[in-house]
Amino acid sequence: MRASIAAGLAFSLLGSSAVFAGELDISRVQTLSAAAQEASEGANDDYLAGDPQKALARLRSIEKTGDAEAAFVLGNMTWVMHPAESFAWHRQALEWGGDNAAVQLELALHYTRQENCPEAVRAWRRVEAAGELQGYFPAVAAYCLLVLGQDREAFAMFALAKFGKVGKFEGLLEEIWGERPTLASFADAMAALRAGKSTDASEAMKFATALPGYDGQRARVFAVMLEASNPVAKTDPALKDLACLRPWIDDDLRRGALYRERNESYDFPDEAQRKRERASQAEALRSALDGCGFVLGEGRLPASDSLARVLLSDVMEFQLATAKELLERHGAGLKARAESEAGDVEALSLLAALQLRAEDRAGLAQSDRYGWERYRDARFAASRVAGLGAGTAEEKASVAAEARRALKDFPDSAYVLMLVLTEGDLKGEERKRALRSQVLAEFHGLTAESVLHASKSARRLVEAFVEYRDLVQADSTETGG
């Protein structure tokens, strides 16, 4: 459990202005923050065990009715993992501590995340009036001004932003609009499964497989799933497949524990040892797959698409089979799942991923079109447009037409908007509208990658915002507005 980027910056505001002096006791906030950090020790294990309420209970030890500083700290600590509780605590901090910019900043971020833009703008204006709207926060504040149609105010607000250290702004956007942290989502799904609110393990499996494998997290939650107390869950096909893989899970648990021990002692293996361990890991995977009759040779895919994705990825990583070999063996089965009456969009996504890795352009084009037309999924439309060749004038015209068609179907997709602005030959008002839409979509999900870091970049957001602003201002100058 950790404080958010935004909460950390809000905390730094506490000593910067007399606005805060009589409202939040700085020394108490610092003391309570240290106490909350100590209380939350072990929360990560609670999430891995699928018990999110136990993690929250650790923090409630510092909660006290009427204590604004405690509510502020608790709101900061839960901003990422428990948004609803964080919002409630920050509202209490405002009620008990009086109006102040530190809490108004946190509430502005909450209202922005909730798409409650009228309230968000009011909170942002309170922070601005206190002289504390600093760093990249004006860029976030500009979002709601755009949503409300106050474009000129948004331009002025965005101009105040100073982005500073690479990744901070992007990190805040991920906290506001990104998916709920995988570990928290797994814990919620696992708690529901245990309580009998769900008899389907697919949700828990989806989040479990998204956790990292190198440090043992994935193996730890796999073990938790297999020990679930809900008797109905024991008959779940996904869990039955997972149970067969128990030797592989146990091997990963051992490796994860070793990884953590080495990190703590700074005792890292040399290259020769890493190669031996990698070979051993590959053999453990091969043995487990052979024992269950999964993936390799004539083996089948597991019932869970999520588990299948992990196994296929690991098989390719450890060079137990190539993407082409896996596509030849499992492509037809994945296609059948995707085209079944019940439907399975994740099977289609996995098929498309294999086709991409195997450089099967014709097959990928078919999957993209099917995903676009049957499942109305913007990912496939964007992939379809991006996969078209654009060498000759005729090909460029075809790409532009397909990009425009994708925009008509998915007007709010950041990737589709990026492609249509690049390939769609948009001009005038049409281009302005698309740029405005791209800016709003980029806030919700950045499309650019950082050149130096394995992370998302806000480059396209800023570029689209600046181009949109310049076009609007140019039009205003021409019309004398």
Q: Read out DSSP for 132-198?
A: ---TTHHHHHHHHHHHTT-HHHHHHHHHT----STTHHHHHHHHHHSPPPHHHHHHHHHHHHHTTS-
Across 403-420, average pLDDT:
95
Inform me whether the pLDDT recorded for 88 exceeds 90: yes
pLDDT of 356: 96
Q: Is the pLDDT of residue 14 over 80?
A: no
pLDDT at 230: 57
- Give the model confidence (pLDDT) of 145-181 as tens digits: 999 999 999 999 999 999 877 789 999 999 999 999 9
The mean pLDDT of 13-34, rounded to a whole number, is: 69
Q: Is the pLDDT of residue 268 over 50?
A: yes
Q: In this structure, are residues 421 and 438 in contact, taking their beta carbons and an 8 Å threshold?
A: yes
Share of the chain above pLDDT 90, in %: 79
What's the Cα-to-Cα distance from 277 to each of 211, 217, 258, 294, 432, rounded to whole Å?
A: 21, 18, 11, 23, 55
> Residues 81, 85, 88, 89: what is their CA dihedral angle, to the nearest 10 degrees?
-80
Point out the least confidently predicted range of 1-15, 110-124, 211-225, 235-249: 1-15
Tokens of 401: 């037409």
Judge whether residue 233 has pLDDT over 90.
Answer: no
**Non-local CB neighbours of 156 within 8 Å, separated by 6+ positions:** none
Q: Is the pLDDT of residue 120 over 70?
A: yes
Average pLDDT over residues 230-239: 73
Q: What is the pLDDT of residue 450?
A: 80
Can you spell out the DSSP letters for 441-464? HHHHS--EE-SSSSSEE-HHHHHH
| Confidence band for 196, pLDDT divided at 50, 70 and 90 | confident
DSSP 300: B
> What's residue 128's pLDDT?
94
What residues have CB less than 8 Å from 67, skipping those under 6 apart? 96
Per-residue model confidence (pLDDT) at position 13: 56
pLDDT at 229 over 90: no
DSSP 27: H
Instruction: List Cβ neighbours of 77 (8 Å cut-off, separation of 6 or more).
Output: 1, 2, 3, 7, 36, 37, 40, 59, 86
**Res 248: pLDDT:** 96
Asked whether residue 20 carries a pLDDT value surpassing 80, the answer given is: no
Q: Phi first, then psi: give them for residue 204, nearest 5 degrees.
A: -60, -40
Q: How far apart are CA 331 and CA 45, in angstroms?
A: 38
Q: Residue 6 has what pLDDT?
A: 58
Give the whole-angstrom CA distance, residue 4 versus residue 81. 9
Domain ranges of the chain: 5-134, 182-314
The CATH architecture to which 5-134 belongs is Alpha Horseshoe (1.25)
Amino acid residing at 313: S
Q: Residue 120, SS3?
A: helix
pLDDT of residue 232: 54
**What distance in Å separates the CA atoms of residue 355 and residue 420, rounded to the nearest whole number?**
24
> Rounded to whole angstroms, how far apart are CA atoms 59 and 36?
6
At 75, the amino acid letter reads G
- Give residue 15's pLDDT band: very low, low, confident or very high (50, 70, 90): very low
Q: Is pLDDT above 70 for 4?
A: no
If we measure between CA atoms, which residue out of 469, 465, 435, 467 comes closest to residue 140? 465
Nearest to 422 by CA among 454, 445, 440, 448: 448
Three-state DSSP at 254 gives: helix
Taking only the tens place, the pLDDT of each residue in 340-364 is 999 999 999 999 999 999 999 999 9
How much is the mean pLDDT over the chain?
Answer: 91
- Asked whether residue 18 carries a pLDDT value surpassing 80, the answer given is no
Between 428 and 480, the higher pLDDT residue: 428
pLDDT at position 390, please?
Answer: 72
